Structure 1
Amino acid sequence: MPIPLIIGAAAAAAGLYGAAKGVSGAIDQSNAKGINNDARSLVETANKDLEKKRQSANNTLEDYGQRKLRAFNGVIADFIETFQKLKNVELSQSPELDKLNAGDFSNKTFPGLTQDYQALKDAGLGLGAGLGSGAALAFGAYNGTMLLATASTGTAISSLGGVAATNATLAWLGGGSLAAGGYGMAGGMMVLGGVVAGPALAIFGHVMGNKGEEALNTANTNMEQARTISDEASLISSKLVTIEEVTALANTTFSNVSSRLRRAVSELRKVIDNEGVDFGNYTEQSKAVVFSAVKFAQLLKAMVDTPILDKDGNLVTATQKRILDVKEVANGAKSSLDSVEK
């Protein structure tokens, strides 16, 4: 065979091989682009869902914190003022409240309520005052002792610059970014109860600048990262849902107990108007009114002392059961008050 024909055949073969590689590379590039877009979409969806859960949990905790403050400036203040008028009060222990560690009213509950109320007034959160969003969040998440201990150090609890900003979970729930550069989850670490999500890459590699096979490998790596981020975001979302559910239960229970205490204080005022302030001279029915008011005050104090989150931002696992116990006792106490009024 003449040499020129051999060279021509080899060149043609090389050309066909190159064309095949080019087609393969183009397909890889196209696949890589599709995978990369899917990875980016997966992370964006996870971030959007997580943001909705964050905002919802934040709003529920803030609402609970505002409710607590309204109770201190309303029904709790009314109870303190009314109960302090009584003389020679003798109270028996309640087995129902003993299991909540709220049975010792004279030496524990009443002084504690008075101290908490005074601390709030000293912090500028007395009647007519309101909580900033950060403080409302912290007041909803923490119990009175944890929050007021912070206030006693001189930290203002009326702004996000107080306790909420020092806690990673509360700072994030309140909308603060824990990420380097302020990209939310992207470019940094986001912590909630020990679960770490990130880094969620804002841009998943520039696959189009790579060769076909290299681009495909990069895109597959990006997809694995995206799946990991999505799974971690789902774990955090489930934690947020649980926090919101427990907080909503606490909010409803606190509201019910507050309403019943308000009703009991109203009955107690009638007793004082009719029979004076000496408990020793009261009829059994009037003494029962005093006992009912005291019981609801104890239950409300038990709620104030029950945190949703601990100081590290984790959900307190025992909280839900304690709230349900308070709810059960409150329902029993309501029946007792109904029979007294009849």
Structure 2
Amino acid sequence: MPIPLIIGAGAVAAGLYGAAKGTSGAIDQNKAKNINNDARSSVELANQKLDEIREATNKTLEGYGQRKLRSFNGVISDFIDTFQKIKNVDLKQSAELDKLNAGDFSNKTLPNLKKDYKALQDAGLGLGAGISGGAALAFGAYNGTMLLATATTGTAISSLSGVAATNATLAWLGGGAISAGGYGMAGGMMVLGGVVAGPALAIFGHILGNKGEEALNIANSNMEQARTICDQANLMGDKLKAITEVTSLANTTFSNVSSRLRHAVSELKKVIDSEGVDFGNYSDQSKATVFKAVKFAQLLKAMIDTPILDKDGNLILSTQKRIVDVSEVASGEKSSLDSIDK
């Protein structure tokens, strides 16, 4: 008679153990679900914040590109038309311009400005026209002269757009998140951060249908991946903010130099009206007016020739200093620029 009791007791113990394991498994499954949801939410939030920063960077670069174009269609065109009316200009008379390597202005800087402007006109972007999207993005990010130098009639802007389309950074900046058909966070990280994360919302292991303990392990692994992606997104966001900061500085400086050149050209027109077009007959004050206009045209050319990003889409670290140098020369705080023609 005792044997059945022992067997019954074993069955009860086994039942209790099974119930305990079942409860534990259910708890693990619930924990796994919560962890996985938290991981997914953190990645979604990181992706959302990064996309907001991307849009801000894209907007800033496009705005700078559009400002460059306006300068060609406005103050640069006006300067070229006015300056070329003056005959026998001798820029060597200005010690200040010598510091800016202005000796090359007539045979190098001025022809290049004319060539760039002609390329824009050939592309149908004469007075009153504008650019947007990939072309503006490329024009803001890169050396404008470089982009236009090899353009043939009618192809300049398509070439600019092509740069934006083929450069991964610009394609991502202009294309946006995965949901919008762009490179998404993973593409941006690959370009700017040097790291590759799988598609933000497709990296997680599945927990449904797994045993409780196994599901919990998978969920914890998912959380670690999510933390890595969020760290990478923060790093990438910082790089985008740095690009935005330098581009904003360039935009402000470019605007300031353009304004100074515009005023100088206005004064130059007055000199021509009062003293004619022969530089040799100008008063010292009028010659100084010519020198000033050339100085600001030279500085604006230096800004056009200063790219924000390198060919791989990374911020050029020396650009910020160069922009500050241009600003200081324009305001008279600094006498010269080093290697202005680079």
TM above 0.5, yes or no, is yes
Q: Which residue of 2 aligns with 1:108?
A: 108
- TM-score, normalising length: structure 1: 0.90
User: Following TM superposition, by how much is the alpha carbon of 1:200 offset from its aligned partner in structure 2, in angstroms?
Assistant: 3.5
1:36-185 to 2 correspondences below 5 Å: 36-92=36-92, 104-149=104-149, 151-152=151-152, 155=155, 157=157, 161-175=161-175, 182=181, 184-185=183-184
Q: Does 1:256 align with 2:229?
A: no
SS across alignment from 1:127:
coil
Paired letter, 1:92 = K
Paired letter, 2:195 = V
SS across alignment from 1:209:
coil
Change beyond 3 A, Cα 1:5–1:156: farther
The farther-off stretch of 220-229 and 89-98 is: 89-98
In the comparison of the two structures, how many residue pairs are matched?
Answer: 334
Q: Which residue of 1 aligns with 2:292?
A: 292
Q: Which residue of 1 aligns with 2:338?
A: none
Query: Distance in 1 between the 2:180 and 2:306 partners?
Result: 36
Paired letter, 1:118 = K
User: Following TM superposition, by how much is the alpha carbon of 1:180 offset from its aligned partner in structure 2, in angstroms?
Assistant: 11
Partner deviation per Cα, 1:264-313 (whole Å, 9 max, x = no partner): 00000000000000000000000000000000000000000000011111
User: Following TM superposition, by how much is the alpha carbon of 1:134 offset from its aligned partner in structure 2, in angstroms?
Assistant: 1.0
Query: Distance in 1 between the 2:217 and 2:98 partners?
Result: 64
- TM-score, normalising length: structure 2: 0.90
Contiguous gaps of at least 5 residues in structure 2: 336-342
Q: Which residue of 1 aligns with 2:340?
A: none
Change beyond 3 A, Cα 1:315–1:160: same
Partner deviation per Cα, 1:167-198 (whole Å, 9 max, x = no partner): 00000001256x69947547877532352341
The farther-off stretch of 87-96 and 72-81 is: 87-96
The farther-off stretch of 159-168 and 310-319 is: 159-168
Paired letter, 1:280 = G
Does the 8 A contact of 1:299 with 1:330 survive in 2?
Answer: yes
Q: Which residue of 2 aligns with 1:228?
A: 228
The farther-off stretch of 136-145 and 243-252 is: 136-145
Partner deviation per Cα, 1:113-140 (whole Å, 9 max, x = no partner): 1111111111221112111311000000
User: Following TM superposition, by how much is the alpha carbon of 1:149 offset from its aligned partner in structure 2, in angstroms?
Assistant: 3.9
Change beyond 3 A, Cα 1:153–1:25: farther
Query: Distance in 1 between the 2:318 and 2:97 partners?
Result: 17
SS across alignment from 1:135:
helix
Partner deviation per Cα, 1:135-181 (whole Å, 9 max, x = no partner): 0000000112331146349755258852100100000001256x699
Change beyond 3 A, Cα 1:94–1:327: farther
SS across alignment from 1:308:
coil
SS across alignment from 1:196:
coil
Q: Does 1:191 align with 2:190?
A: yes
1:10-25 to 2 correspondences below 5 Å: 10-25=10-25
Q: Which residue of 2 aligns with 1:339?
A: none
Paired letter, 2:15 = G
Paired letter, 2:16 = L
Query: Distance in 1 between the 2:199 and 2:314 partners?
Result: 23
C-alpha RMSD over aligned residues? 2.6
Does the 8 A contact of 1:123 with 1:157 survive in 2?
Answer: yes
User: Following TM superposition, by how much is the alpha carbon of 1:205 offset from its aligned partner in structure 2, in angstroms?
Assistant: 2.8
User: Following TM superposition, by how much is the alpha carbon of 1:91 offset from its aligned partner in structure 2, in angstroms?
Assistant: 0.4
Does the 8 A contact of 2:44 with 2:200 survive in 1?
Answer: no
The farther-off stretch of 321-330 and 158-167 is: 158-167
Paired letter, 1:44 = E
Change beyond 3 A, Cα 1:97–1:278: closer
Q: Which residue of 2 aligns with 1:266?
A: 266
Q: What is the aligned-residue identity percentage?
A: 74
Partner deviation per Cα, 1:45-93 (whole Å, 9 max, x = no partner): 1101110110000000000000000000000000000000000100028
SS across alignment from 1:314:
coil
Does the 8 A contact of 2:64 with 2:251 survive in 1?
Answer: yes
The farther-off stretch of 166-175 and 96-105 is: 96-105
Change beyond 3 A, Cα 1:80–1:93: same
Q: Which residue of 2 aligns with 1:312?
A: 312
Change beyond 3 A, Cα 1:147–1:105: same
Query: Distance in 2 between the 1:205 and 1:186 partners?
Result: 19
Does the 8 A contact of 1:187 with 1:201 survive in 2?
Answer: yes
Paired letter, 1:191 = M
Q: Which residue of 2 aligns with 1:303?
A: 303
Does the 8 A contact of 1:131 with 1:158 survive in 2?
Answer: no
Q: Which residue of 2 aligns with 1:243?
A: 243
SS across alignment from 2:91:
coil
Does the 8 A contact of 1:197 with 1:232 survive in 2?
Answer: no
Change beyond 3 A, Cα 1:43–1:153: farther
Q: Which structure has the highest helix share of the two?
A: 2
Query: Distance in 2 between the 1:181 and 1:137 partners?
Result: 18
Query: Distance in 2 between the 1:119 and 1:66 partners?
Result: 16
SS across alignment from 1:162:
helix
The farther-off stretch of 187-196 and 278-287 is: 187-196
Query: Distance in 1 between the 2:194 and 2:91 partners?
Result: 47
